[in-house]
Amino acid sequence: MKIAVLPGDGIGPEIVAEAVKVLDALDLSFEMESALVGGAAFDAHGHPLPEATLQLAKDADATLFGAVGDWKYDTLDRPLRPEQAILGLRKNLGLFANFRPAICYPQLVDASSLKRDLVSGLDILIIRELTGDIYFGQPRGRRIATDGHFPGAEEAFDTMRYSRPEIERIAHVAFEAARKRKAAGGPGRVTSVDKANVLETFQFWKDIVTEVGAQYPDIALDHMYVDNAAMQLVKAPKKFDVVVTGNMFGDILSDAAAMLTGSIGMLPSASLNDRNQGLYEPSHGSAPDIAGKGLANPLATILSAAMMLRFSLNQEEAARRIESAVQAVLAQGLRTPDIWSEGTTKVGTAQMGDAVVQALG
């Protein structure tokens, strides 16, 4: 089992170190190899996704990814910006299916900014299409003004685009996931989120999801406009089961859903291709505001490592050990600052990782 480890920028190296600590403690025979990515790779090699880093991820069974980005790179040309590294990995590996489970652990019901009744017992799954939509649509650009400078550009544009096969395959992923959850006691429901009232791309999306849905008579399908979905997510989040949506809407809705779990530092993710090769990363970014201070919550990354064991490495039991250990440390009252509340014990990034290792049993 070969794992590429790409810590990246900001809090990336701090949180990935804790996940690696937990993986090491499992005593399974992994081969882990690290490489630079994002701003760190740009500083060392002049490119955010060097060929060697991409090759490492391609050759691995799975990639454990931290985060990329920092304000100091904001003035670089777009192809050189750190964020292009994660987009390039997703595109090059064909990682079209992004799973972002929002689960509110019982120990954290009071960490959420919502009332406990709303989030208690919450277990929803956001499935975000990850290699299409306005993120990758062509053409894109800025029309440069006569003076040749971007500050004088006349207009800028990005193109929203989806093809039939792209929508079909993500729809199948969502219906299959709902079926699996139904077998485990879930309601068996897919909510497809779109903006069909305004955008052609999303009328097309809605039509095709409906077509695919006809092949899953055991699963209920409903459609919701994205603005309403954002509202319903904070009004009555437990009404959702599986949410499937495009790249852009999924990005936004998953950050909103993160707060239902207590903190963005709790939301893991898995990005899979059609060969179950995957990239695993927390849903949050590089958090430059708290980087290097030992304040970051490593649990989203540790839980992403658990997803990696489950989805790409066929180690279900080890995945569950990690998830149980995370719940155990929360039950002990240990909290990084983002999930801290009165009466619990504030710990740093490394202490949290150590506690998870201890709790593995």
How many residues bind ligand NAD, per CB under 6 A? 22
Q: Which member of 32, 34, 80, 83 binds ligand NAD (CB under 6 A)?
A: 83
Longest CA–CA separation in the chain, Å: 66
Strand order in the sheet with 189-194: 31-34, 2-8, 62-67, 278-280, 270-272, 97-103, 123-129, 242-245, 189-194, 220-225
Q: If we measure between CA atoms, which residue out of 51, 118, 41 comes closest to residue 80?
A: 41
User: How many Å apart are CA 7 and CA 37, to the nearest integer?
Assistant: 7
DSSP code per residue over 211-244: HHHTT-TTSEEEEEEHHHHHHHHHH-GGG-SEEE
Mark 295-334 with x for binding to ligand NAD (rule: CB under 6 A) and - for no binding: -xx--x----------------------------------
Question: Tokens representing 331?
Answer: 């039950």
Let me know if 58 is a catalytic residue: no
Alpha helices by DSSP H, listed for the chain, are: 12-25, 39-45, 51-59, 83-93, 116-119, 164-183, 200-213, 226-235, 247-258, 299-311, 316-331, 349-359
User: How many Å apart are CA 356 and CA 349, to the nearest integer?
Assistant: 11
Q: Does 354 sit near Mn ion (CB under 5 A)?
A: no
Q: Does 264 sit near ligand NAD (CB under 6 A)?
A: yes
Q: If we measure between CA atoms, which residue out of 135, 181, 132, 186 comes closest to residue 158?
A: 135
Q: Does 130 sit near ligand NAD (CB under 6 A)?
A: no
Which residue among the candidates 24, 59, 222, 227 is catalytic per the annotation?
227
Site stretch for ligand NAD (CB under 6 A), options 26-34, 45-53, 293-301, 319-327: 293-301
Question: Tokens representing 360?
Answer: 């593995």
Q: Does 133 sit near Mn ion (CB under 5 A)?
A: no
Let me know if 255 is a catalytic residue: yes
Find the radius of gyration of the CA atoms of the chain: 20
Site stretch for ligand NAD (CB under 6 A), options 127-135, 284-292, 307-315, 321-329: 284-292
Which positions from 243 through 262 interact with Mn ion, judged by CB under 5 A?
251
| C-beta closer to ligand IPM: residue 35 or 287 | 287
| C-beta closer to Mn ion: residue 194 or 251 | 251
Site stretch for ligand IPM (CB under 6 A), options 48-56, 81-89, 200-208, 349-357: 81-89
Q: If we measure between CA atoms, which residue out of 139, 57, 52 comes closest to residue 92?
A: 57
Q: Which member of 20, 26, 67, 190 binds ligand NAD (CB under 6 A)?
A: 67
Amino acid at 230: A
User: How many Å apart are CA 153 and CA 140, to the nearest integer?
Assistant: 14
Mark 269-298 with x for binding to ligand IPM (rule: CB under 6 A) and - for no binding: --------------x-x-------------
Q: Which member of 2, 25, 34, 83 binds ligand IPM (CB under 6 A)?
A: 83
Q: Which member of 338, 355, 357, 359 binds ligand NAD (CB under 6 A)?
A: 338
Q: Does 86 sit near ligand IPM (CB under 6 A)?
A: yes
Which residue among the candidates 61, 133, 194, 251 is catalytic per the annotation?
251
Let me know if 123 is a catalytic residue: no
Q: Does 129 sit near Mn ion (CB under 5 A)?
A: no
CB of 254 to Mn ion, least distance (A): 7
CB of 206 to ligand NAD, least distance (A): 27
How many residues bind ligand IPM, per CB under 6 A? 7
Let me know if 251 is a catalytic residue: yes
Q: What angle do CA 132, 135, 136 make, to 5 degrees?
A: 60
- Give the interface with ligand IPM as residue ranges (CB under 6 A): 69, 83, 86-87, 251, 283, 285
Supply the residues annotated as catalytic: 135, 195, 227, 251, 255
The binding site for Mn ion (CB under 5 A) comprises 251
